[in-house]
Homo-oligomer: A and B are copies of this chain.
Amino acid sequence: MTNNLDTFFGAMSDPTRRAVIERLVSGPAAVSELHAPHDIALPTFMRHLMVLEESGLVRSEKKGRVRTVHIEAAPLAAAESWLQKQRAMWEGRLDRLSLLAESIAKAEKG
């Protein structure tokens, strides 16, 4: 889990790679379609795809001359779950602080 989060967050720290993920959540796409909106050379773009594939965030398959890229949803879910857990802890703390503030206010009134 730890290593997966390392890899996922590392891969997602780049805007080009996030843009690829944002496109792939709507369905598989050919490399050429994924590359089109990006104003960077194809080899540079392919290196970003390779990072995503090596991180297990996408997989790809080649048929004839077209390589199609698919998203793997599990790493996204794991990262979201980690963030949700942090928020739950944080909100739990805010709730406890708010209860504490209430009880102090009551004690001061009484």
A residues whose Cβ falls under 8 Å from a Cβ of B: 2, 5-10, 12-15, 18, 21-22, 25-27, 71, 73, 76-77, 79-80, 82-84, 86-87, 89-90, 93
Identify whether the interface residues of A are mostly helix, strand, loop, or mixed.
Answer: helix
- Nearest Cβ distance between residue A56 and chain B, in whole angstroms? 14
- Are A13 and B18 in contact, CB atoms less than 8 angstroms apart? no
- Do the beta carbons of B90 and A25 come within 8 Å of each other? yes
Return the chain B residue nearest A80 by Cβ. Answer: B83
CB pairs A–B below 8 angstroms (29 shown): A2-B15, A2-B18, A5-B13, A6-B13, A6-B14, A7-B13, A8-B13, A9-B12, A10-B10, A10-B13, A13-B13, A18-B82, A21-B86, A25-B87, A25-B89, A25-B90, A26-B93, A27-B93, A71-B90, A73-B87, A73-B90, A76-B83, A76-B86, A76-B87, A76-B90, A77-B87, A79-B83, A80-B83, A80-B84
